[in-house]
Amino acid sequence: MYTLFKPSALAEKLKFLLLTLHVAGLWLVVPITSRAQESSPLSLAEAQAFAVKNALQVKNASYDAEVAKLTSDELLGIGLPQVSASLQYQNFITLITQVADGALFGAPGQEVRFQFGLPHNMTASLTASQILFNGSWLVGLQASRAYADLQKKNMSKSEIEVKAATAQAYHLALSLQEQLKFTEQTRMVLNQMVDETSALYSAGFVEEQDVEQLQLSLNEISNVISTLKANVRLSEILLKFTIGMPLQQDITLTDTVESLMNPGDVMSVSFTPDKNIDVMLTTNALRMQELNLKNKKAAFLPNAALFYNLQSQAFRQEFDFFDTSKQWFAPQLWGFTLNMPILSGGTNMKSVQKAKVEVQRMKDTVENVKSASLLGYEQAKTEYETALQSVNLSQQSLTLAQKILDKTNIKFKEGIASSMNVSQSTSQVLKAQTDLANAKRSLLDATVKLKKSLNIL
């Protein structure tokens, strides 16, 4: 039997995705079987650029960054002058009745009932306030800006991850296309041998078993080609799904495996932990914890605010507030408030101590992430070197397998080798072609992983 294609994790993931869409009844929304009129040429760089603009992961990170920026602006507005206006109208259907000692009005021993006020009252007011000092607000403003910066870094991380995922999907599609091309070439050669052997059998020079053996090999190769064609299509769908492209859009990959196997002198780039995106994110999280500690300490500080209030009031027997000949009364005042925390039962101090613990925890996390990023870089560099060696060895193996097949074909025509020998040699060539294609894809993926660890993707 031939063991020519082992579905990768990406292909398996895509099959699961397609099954999920089918079960959910979404084929009506995503008509994968329909074909677009024109095929769009797509290089790896173009696919990555498209993904950065259209992939859902990047879009969500962009939304988070935008919300964080607006939140920072919103908090800044709290510290700016606040002005509000109000208008209140009251109609006393029944005026308030007061009861007083009659002695106050010359009628001792009696209760005197009286009403005061007018039924129609209107008050217009204008109030302004300004924070003079509030430690929590100042720290909160710093924290909101740090959070906005954190979300920007998260968006950068999402772009890096999407670019890496796009490259892996693109590499998979190219690898399968290359395997398909090699296998079809081998089938053409084997098909010619079947025709020639059939003619020799008809002339009585070879046995029927020789024809059958070669035909069996040809059928197996045809079956492999059918599988490869299906997986090529699946890999293209996976690529379009990864970059956020409509699944019904036809694409043509313009890059080749060989054109992508020249990553430049990536091994000469030195690794700097502080430039690693995960380290930057964790460092930003440390900054957030330090600001949280600062905010807890700000609870011990006083806060002060300034305010001003202007009112205009009118009292009428009738609803004639628009009569400018009648008087409005305009009281106004200004002042300030000062709040000074004195005793909190120790809760503020405990909050500060807890915040200090979280700061130390995050400091330890930053150091751990730096070590992990260095480990990831070393692993990526080792995988790259191993994959490069594997490509060289696989290329040598393919060259040897092809030589063996050519010699076996000559011997078979001369009657020295059997059809079984031809089948075995053909199987070796196909396996060597598959191994080389997989080795090249592994090298491309290792290059992406190495660039990702260096933050140069």
* Token pair recorded at residue 415: 């009657």
Residue 47's pLDDT is 96
- What residue numbers bound the domain in which 170 lies? 9-79+134-301+341-453
**CA angle in degrees (0–180, nearest 5) for 154-157-158:** 90
Residue 196 lies in a domain: yes
313-363 pLDDT, tens digit each: 988 888 888 887 888 888 899 999 999 888 877 888 898 999 999 999 999
The yes-or-no verdict on residue 22 having pLDDT over 80 is: no
- What is the residue type of 180? L
Q: Where residue 222 falls among pLDDT bands split at 50, 70, 90?
A: very high
DSSP letters, 344-401, are: -TTHHHHHHHHHHHHHHHHHHHHHHHHHHHHHHHHHHHHHHHHHHHHHHHHHHHHHHH
Residue 309 lies in a domain: no
271-299 pLDDT, tens digit each: 999 889 999 999 999 999 999 999 889 88
SS3 316: strand
CA gap 225, 227 in Å, rounded: 5
DSSP letters, 48-103, are: HHHHHHH-HHHHHHHHHHHHHHHHHHHHHHHTS-EEEEEEEEEE-SSPPEEEEEGG
Q: Where residue 20 falls among pLDDT bands split at 50, 70, 90?
A: very low
Q: Where residue 6 falls among pLDDT bands split at 50, 70, 90?
A: very low
Residue 247's pLDDT is 93
- How is residue 6 annotated by DSSP? -
Q: Where residue 124 falls among pLDDT bands split at 50, 70, 90?
A: very high
Beta strand pairing call for 82-91 and 111-115: unpaired
Q: Where residue 137 falls among pLDDT bands split at 50, 70, 90?
A: confident
Say which CATH number the domain at 74 has: 1.20.1600.10
CA gap 211, 213 in Å, rounded: 5
**What percent of the chain shows pLDDT beyond 70?**
92
The yes-or-no verdict on residue 143 having pLDDT over 70 is: yes
Residue 126 lies in a domain: no
- How is residue 271 annotated by DSSP? P
Short-list 5, 14, 442, CA closest to 233: 14
363-421 pLDDT, tens digit each: 999 999 999 999 999 999 999 999 999 999 999 999 999 999 999 989 988 888 888 89
- How is residue 265 annotated by DSSP? S
Mean pLDDT on 212-232? 93
- Residue 267's Cβ-count burial label (10 Å; 0-12, 13-18, 19+) is exposed
Residue 142 dihedral angles phi and psi, to the nearest 5°: -65, -40
The yes-or-no verdict on residue 15 having pLDDT over 80 is: no
The yes-or-no verdict on residue 17 having pLDDT over 70 is: no
Q: Where residue 3 falls among pLDDT bands split at 50, 70, 90?
A: very low
Residue 191 lies in a domain: yes
The yes-or-no verdict on residue 103 having pLDDT over 90 is: no
Residue 417 dihedral angles phi and psi, to the nearest 5°: -105, 160
* Residues 268-290 as b or e (16 or more Cβ within 10 Å = b): eeebebeebbbbbbbbbbbbbbb
Residue 244 lies in a domain: yes
* Token pair recorded at residue 170: 């693109």
Q: What is the CA radius of gyration of the chain?
A: 40
* Residues 143-161 as b or e (16 or more Cβ within 10 Å = b): bbbbbbbbbbbbbbbbbbb
67-101 pLDDT, tens digit each: 888 888 888 888 889 999 999 999 988 887 788 77
- Residue 226's Cβ-count burial label (10 Å; 0-12, 13-18, 19+) is exposed
Residue 388 lies in a domain: yes
CA gap 426, 421 in Å, rounded: 8
Mean pLDDT on 188-212? 89
SS3 296: helix
CA gap 69, 76 in Å, rounded: 11
Residue 183 lies in a domain: yes
Residue 221 dihedral angles phi and psi, to the nearest 5°: -65, -40
Q: How many helices (H) and strands (E) does the chain have?
A: 9, 8
Q: Where residue 266 falls among pLDDT bands split at 50, 70, 90?
A: confident
Q: How many structural domains compose the chain?
A: 1
Q: Lowest mean pLDDT of 131-140, 167-176, 241-250, 305-314, name the range.
A: 131-140
Short-list 174, 172, 171, 187, CA closest to 429: 187
* Interaxial angle between packed helices 208-243 and 9-23, expressed in degrees from 0 to 180 and rounded to the nearest 10: 70
To the nearest whole number, what is the mean pLDDT of the chain?
A: 86
CA gap 407, 380 in Å, rounded: 40
29 or 332, which is more confident = 332
* Reduced 3-state DSSP string for 101-137: EHHHHCCCCCEEEEECCCCEEEEEEEEEEEEEECHHH
Residue 317 lies in a domain: no
CA gap 63, 107 in Å, rounded: 77
Q: Where residue 263 falls among pLDDT bands split at 50, 70, 90?
A: confident
Strands (E), 278-365: 303-316, 332-339
CA gap 455, 170 in Å, rounded: 20
